[in-house]
Structure 1
Amino acid sequence: MNILSSVVRFSSAVLIGSWLTVSHAANYDDAVLAFENRDYASALALVLPLAEQQDIDAMTLLGRVYDEGFNKPNEAFPWFKKAAEQGNAQAQLELAELYDAGEGVAQNTEQAIEWYEKAAAQGHDEAQLALAIHHQEDLDDNKTALTLYLKAAQQGNATAQYRLGLLYLGDTGISTDKLKAWLYFSLAAHKVPEAAQAKDVLELEMSNAQLLQAQMVLKQWQSSR
């Protein structure tokens, strides 16, 4: 084989590989779009071949199609488990939720917490929120809950922000701080109606100076994002 033939064959292999990569990505993107548009049949047809190739993101999406689209958690479970074991944070969260609810698998709180912890360690805000609620409501450990709520709140999780506001207000073992409570209620108000109501009530208890200071802190928080 001469040099020119070798170069041509190598170039062809590279082009084919690049085309397959682009095609794979396009199919995955189309599957995501179909899923978001609730066209679950199309999403399934697009993502199943990719998941069968052991693509982690595709396996996770396929699990969501089965679970959220077709209400078949038993079919979603093995795909979430495969992707979770390979480190996909979303799959770890989804797997934890199945164990937590006993859907598609026998209910197992210990397994649920383990997978929530793995996803939270990767910075998944919903997992951090779930763990925070577990520590607050099941373990009566508000200090650990506070730390986890803060991590989720920093990522814009409105439920975590609302719960933070409540922690800074109540008899929870956390020092009362109306300024911080108002801040987090304000951040969550556009998504959590209870937060907007709590913010309005709290403002009635705050002086003009306190409210002005709180508004300045809110502006600083928003400008830092």
Structure 2
Amino acid sequence: MRFLGKIILLTGALTLGPLPAFGQSFDKASQAYIKGDYAVAVEHLKTLSDLGYATAQFNLGTMYNDGLGVAQNYSEAVQWYSLAAEQGNALAQSNLGFMYQDGLGVAQNYNEAVQWYSLAAEQGNAPAQSNLGFMYYEGLGIPQNYSEAAQWYSRAAEQGHGSAHHQLGLMYYKGEGVSQNPVMAYMLNILAAAQGHEGGRNNRDIILKVLSREQVAEGQQLATEWRVGTPLPSFDDFSTWP
């Protein structure tokens, strides 16, 4: 239902600073990370982080969170995530929200978690969108609102987020915040199961037993045809329900 997006951007495109010095140092950090020289990667990331580069700060926070090249230290992770998050880095905002939600390296604070999840979710970060959906669903740090939960789960699900597929599937099965549709629930759990989500596999098999042969076929077809980045099926797309 929620997870810490441990995403290292060392091999991705730089998102900050066109300065050559930044690029060269970041490349060195990337090369060291790929080789498994985590301590060297941390050295380069610290230099860049001290200069205020948000991408480096996020990655340094992740190194501290995972204990790569340094002793695992959640408080240090929170410090670097915070600096990057305040500069608008969506990945850092998402991870910082998780740290506040679970009380890792910082006092547990659901209100803070919702704040950071919201900022990241508005930037399109799928883990944050899914986690924000979870907060709305459970009423943690924000009034419980199934409709809002379904909306955020949907946005994450459209990006291919497996946990969001699973959670949204449960909501469609129960009719919480959305019109009840077990065929849609089945389709979503097929998608979750395809990503290795255990809950998705279990729910897929449970829902299968209550559907007609025609409903099973339709759910499977819709799951096969759906593509990441496209809208989820609407009510009008179903011929076997209600």
* TM-score normalised by L of structure 2: 0.76
Output one character per residue of 1:50-86: Cα deviation in whole Å (capped at 9) or x when no partner: 2122211101001111122132122222211111111
Q: 1:71 maps to what in 2?
A: 72
RMSD over aligned CA atoms reads 2.3
1:119-162 per-position Cα deviation (integer Å, ceiling 9, x unaligned): 11101111111111111112431111000000111111111100
**In the alignment, structure 1 residue 177 sits paired with structure 2 residue 181:** yes
In 2, Cα distance between equivalents of 1:61 and 1:18: 18
Q: 1:197 aligns with which of 188, 202, 206?
A: 202
Name the structure 1 match of 2:44. 46
Cα 1:106–1:205 shift into 2, 3 Å: closer
Q: 1:222 and 1:77, CA in 2 relative to 1: closer, same or farther beyond 3 A?
A: closer
Change (3 A) 1:115 1:137: same
Partner of 2:212: 207
- Residue identity matched to 1:199: R
Between structures 1 and 2, the one with greater helix share: 1
Q: Which runs of 5+ in 2 are unaligned?
A: 1-17, 231-242
CA contact (8 A) 2:175 2:181 kept: no
CA distance in 1: counterparts of 2:199 and 2:135, whole angstroms: 21
Counterpart code for 1:79: W
On the 8 A contact 2:158/2:228 being kept in 1, the answer is: no
Query: How far is the alpha carbon of 1:24 from its aligned partner?
Result: 2.5
Q: How has the CA–CA distance of structure 1 residues 194 and 68 changed in structure 2, closer, same or farther, with 3 Å as cutoff?
A: same
Q: Which amino acid in 2 is paired with 1:179? A: V
Distance, in Å, in 2 between the alignment partners of 1:121 and 1:223 is 19
SS in 2 for 1:169: helix
Q: CA deviation at 1:99?
A: 2.1
2:24 matched to 1:20?
no
Give the distance between the partners of 2:199 and 2:108, measured in 1 at CA: 31
Alpha-carbon shift at residue 220 of structure 1 (Å): 2.2
1:167 aligns with 2:171: yes
Q: TM-score, normalised by structure 1?
A: 0.82
**Alpha-carbon deviation of 1:32?**
4.8
| 8 Å Cα contact 1:74-1:103 kept in structure 2 | yes
2-structure distance, mates of 1:174, 1:64:
36
Residue 219 (structure 1) shift: 2.5
State the SS of the aligned residue for 1:172. coil
**Is residue 185–residue 195 contact of structure 1 (8 Å, CA) maintained in 2?**
yes
Q: Equivalents in 2 of 1:205, 1:175: separation in Å?
A: 18
**Larger RCO: 1 or 2 (CA < 8 Å, sep 6+):** 2
Which residue does 1:113 correspond to in 2? 114
Residue identity in the other structure for 1:188: A
* Counterpart code for 1:204: K
Task: Could you tell me which runs of 5 or more consecutive residues in structure 1 were left unpaired when the two chains were aligned.
Answer: 1-16
Is 1:101 the counterpart of 2:111? The answer is no
Once residues 172 and 137 of structure 1 are traced to their aligned partners in structure 2, the CA distance between those partners, rounded to angstroms, is 12
- The question of whether the paired residues in 2 share the 8 Å contact of 1:32 and 1:61 is answered with no
Report which of the two structures shows the higher radius of gyration computed on alpha carbons: 1
The one-character-per-residue Cα deviations of 1:171-205 (angstroms, maximum 9, x if unpaired) are 53532211111110000003212211221222222
What is the CA–CA distance in structure 1 between the aligned matches of 2:191 and 2:211, rounded to whole Å?
18
| 4+ residue runs over 6 A deviation | none
Distance in 2 of aligned mates of 1:173 and 1:87: 30
Between 1:132-141 and 1:158-167, the stretch displaced more is 132-141
Distance 2:19 2:79 in 1: 30
